[in-house]
Amino acid sequence: MDVDLRKLRYFVAVAEELHFGRAAERLHIAQPVLSRQIRALETELRAQLFRRDRRSTELTAAGRQLLEDAPPLLAASQAARRRVGLAGQEQARFTIGFMPGITVTAAVRAFSTRHPDLTVDVLRTSWDDQSQVILDGRVDVGFIRLPVDQRGLELRPLFAEPRVVVLPTGHRLAGQASVGIADLADEQLLQNPDAVPEWRDLPTHAGSRPERSRPLAATVEEKLEYVAAADGMVILPLSTARFYTRPDLVHLAVEGIGPSQVCLAWSAGRRSRLLDEFRQLAASAAG
């Protein structure tokens, strides 16, 4: 059975808000219209998606499953519209995403040389959007760092590199050649803990890990500013730490932590001659 993407977007809004009124405002439609569309979707899927009473709206098991499956479907639809729109332009375009510290010059230069009439763009991504820009079509292919949510993506491993801890020069550990991950258990981590599962899963000394005093930093530059101010630490791939070398920071090898794995990623099921060619060039440049 085909799923109506408009109804799917309506469902996601309600599932995220867990309130039909707020979802209707977000979608700029009347609440009765939204309710009818959700009932129609439930009829099409032959499953109840929400449990509603006068006090609350909750997802059913079927609703939770659909909320997990819906974002890649909506992103793929948006990506297809974007690619079709670009294909209709006079100048063909190919966009490559890359994470901080990853140098893509060799592959991009070789690709541009082979296709002088193609506009080749690059887009710097972040931990939070490195997979989303692929799914929604902002880039055709991306150099990403694991771990990521791989739903809707195909990946090709390219290389791995060590990760290091970045600390202020006055830190108690700054003079050491290397540290163990357990030595960092009580430090404040200034990034998403899921990016450093080895630290996240450490047993901490009771009450000694500091309470978070500020929101997670979004960019490498922001993280390093906080580190320099002695607000915490970050774990970075070695190439990223070297690229952002500063006199008020040091980076140290960390024992007991895995390397940063770099992969090339693209939308699952997408096939094109240009994509195949760039994958080969990227693998050769990394090899």
The DSSP result for 244-284, as a single string, is T--TTEEEEEEET-PPEEEEEEEETT---HHHHHHHHHHHH
Picking from 282, 242, 107, the residue whose alpha carbon sits closest to that of residue 162 is: 242
Taking all residues of the chain, what is their mean pLDDT, rounded to a whole number? 88
CB atoms within 10 A of CB 95: 18
Q: What is the pLDDT of residues 208-262, one digit of tens each?
A: 555 655 667 778 999 999 999 999 999 999 999 999 999 999 999 999 999 999 9
The answer to whether residue 74 scores a pLDDT higher than 50 is yes
Residue the block writes with tokens 């490559």: 96
Give the CATH number of domain 163-257.
3.40.190.10
Cα–Cα distance, 46 to 62 (Å, whole number): 10
Residue 262 is encoded by which pair of tokens?
A: 């770099």
Look up the CATH superfamily of 91-159+261-286. Periplasmic binding protein-like II (3.40.190.10)
Residue 62, pLDDT score = 92
Fold classification of 5-81 is Arc Repressor Mutant, subunit A (1.10.10)
Residue 85, pLDDT score = 66
The answer to whether residue 90 scores a pLDDT higher than 50 is no
Structural contact between residues 160 and 286, judged by C-beta atoms closer than 8 angstroms: no
The answer to whether residue 8 scores a pLDDT higher than 70 is yes
Element (H, E) at 37: helix 31-45
137 — alpha (psi -120 to 50), left (phi > 0) or beta? Answer: left
Q: Is there a shared CATH topology between the 5-81 domain and the 163-257 domain?
A: no
Q: Classify residue 74 by burial, with Cβ atoms within 10 Å: 0-12, 13-18, 19+.
A: middle
Residue 87, pLDDT score = 59
Residue 274, pLDDT score = 93
Residue the block writes with tokens 């408009």: 6
- Global pTM reads 0.68
Q: What is the pLDDT of residues 31-63, one digit of tens each?
A: 988 999 899 899 989 999 999 888 889 999 999
Residue 54, pLDDT score = 80
28 — alpha (psi -120 to 50), left (phi > 0) or beta? Answer: left
Residue 83, pLDDT score = 67
Amino acid identity at 10: Y
Q: How many residues in total does the chain contain?
A: 287
Residues 6+ apart with CB under 8 A from 67: 11, 12, 15, 59
Residue 215, pLDDT score = 64
Amino acid identity at 251: H
Q: What is the mean pLDDT of residues 59-75?
A: 88
Residue 72, pLDDT score = 81
Looking at per-residue pLDDT, the higher value among 93 and 86 belongs to 93
Residues 6+ apart with CB under 8 A from 47: 60, 62
Residue 176 is encoded by which pair of tokens?
A: 């050491």
What are the domain boundaries of the chain? 5-81, 91-159+261-286, 163-257
Residue 206, pLDDT score = 45
Looking at per-residue pLDDT, the higher value among 102 and 2 belongs to 102
The answer to whether residue 1 scores a pLDDT higher than 60 is no
Ranges of beta strands (E only) in the chain are 50-52, 57-59, 93-98, 119-124, 141-145, 153-161, 163-168, 178-180, 234-237, 249-255, 260-267
Structural contact between residues 96 and 120, judged by C-beta atoms closer than 8 angstroms: yes
Q: What is the mean pLDDT of residues 72-92?
A: 69
Q: What is the pLDDT of residues 99-145, one digit of tens each?
A: 999 999 999 999 999 999 899 999 999 988 999 899 888 999 999 99
Residue 194, pLDDT score = 86
Q: DSSP code of 183?
A: G
Residue 50 is encoded by which pair of tokens?
A: 């929400």
Minimum mean pLDDT among 161-165, 193-197, 206-210: which range? 206-210
The answer to whether residue 92 scores a pLDDT higher than 50 is yes
The answer to whether residue 75 scores a pLDDT higher than 90 is no
